[in-house]
Amino acid sequence: MTIFDKFDQLAAARQALEENCGDFFNMVVDDIISATEAVVNGRRMILAGSNNYLGLSFDSDCIEAACEATRQAGTGTTGSRMANGTFSGHVALEKELAQFFKRRHAIVFSTGYIANLAMLSTLVGPDEIILLDADCHASIYDGCRLGKAEIIRFRHNDINDLEKRLKRLAKRNTNILVVVEGLYSMLGDRAPLSDIAAVKRKYGAYLLVDEAHSLGVLGENGRGLAEEAGVEDEADFIVGTFSKSLGAIGGFCVSNHQQLDLVRYASRPYVFTASSSPGVIASTRKALSILHTRPELRRRLWDNANMLYQKLQDLGFSLGPEPSPIVAVRQQDKEEALAIWNALVQHGVYVNLVLPPATPDGGALLRCSMSAGHTAEQIEHIGQAFAAAHRTDQAAQTG
């Protein structure tokens, strides 16, 4: 017996996938052409799975801000925020995030994953409870596991199940943190946040909303689902990432609770992680400014999302429950999903292939994500590629 024996089942599953979809584990981006195109494994492709919602990873102002900060302050901080890693840019970004979200306090983390690890492992302690939506992201689950709170799931977007559990837990007379997402990353559906906020208020719980996929996407000012639903005052904590709409990497939490600052001193993921590089912080600050001042990017994103959703719906694909920048094509058969993904690659379109157990319903997903940077011609090509892939798959099944 060796230390690697526990991976035998995983190795067998990977080998089976490689036999049917050899490129799946070996996709390498050779050259980035734009926010929506790249050369992948030597083939020019439209990127339709990058979460680059506003296309800002290639914005010239963001790039120049990153270059100038790197020239002035170097390529990295080489230390954590609690050591030598708090530069003036980190402090400025925290102030700008607080202003953008109309909150009093903000903390910047090195990644969105670390933001959830830090907040969820630190905010809620022994004898307290985290009540989370069953479809929450892996980083939320990992943050819950890292802490010492009791973890209870409620059925996805089921307000009745949430209230039933809150009512049952009321007799425990302890702190409860309800955790949901704005846009769910697999199917692109919204949380019923106004109802969740009302139930949270009724039972005196706290509410944390992960706006990772809804920052820059939802709300009149792009602040996310809490803004769109008109319940920003009910969301005690907003967590998010810079790696989607802001085209960089990093994470944050904003809140009106003045004790938020204490998380810096109590959270191991914050204390023991190197801080973001000056270039990343500078490009994020510029992207946040653009998000606030260029609402046309958000309108273009939604035009593109609605266009692709309609095209794929007309082709007869089973999709996520509502149009959003995340357009999920649902397949019950894993082999069929693999075949369509392979065909899309052959037609120069890259989407995310998501297989169980990462999917919410045990099926497989071809997960597309739209960008404000996509052109109408590119969306037309994506639609044609899906149509051709669908025909090829049907022919294979009947043949």
Q: Write the DSSP string, 96-164.
A: HHHHHHT-SEEEEESSHHHHHHHHHHHHS-TT-EEEEETT--HHHHHHHHHS-SEEEEE-TT-HHHHHH
From the list 185, 245, 283, 324, the catalytic residue is 185
Which secondary structure element, helix H or strand E, spans residue 45, and what is its range? Answer: strand 43-47
Active-site position among 90, 213, 286, 347 = 213
Question: Where do runs of H (alpha helix) occur along the chain?
Answer: 8-20, 60-73, 88-101, 112-123, 138-146, 159-169, 193-203, 225-229, 263-266, 268-271, 278-293, 296-314, 334-346, 376-398
Catalytic residue check, 213: yes
Cα separation, 222 vs 102, in Å, equals: 12
**Residue 244: active-site member:** yes
Q: Which residues pair with 183 in a beta bridge?
A: 190
Burial of 58 (0-12, 13-18, 19+ CB in 10 A): middle
Q: Are 132 and 123 in contact (CB under 8 A)?
A: no
**Annotated catalytic residue within 137, 200, 244, 311:** 244
**37 bridge partner residues:** 46
* Nearest-angstrom CA–CA distance, 195 and 264: 31
Q: Which residues are catalytic?
A: 185, 213, 244
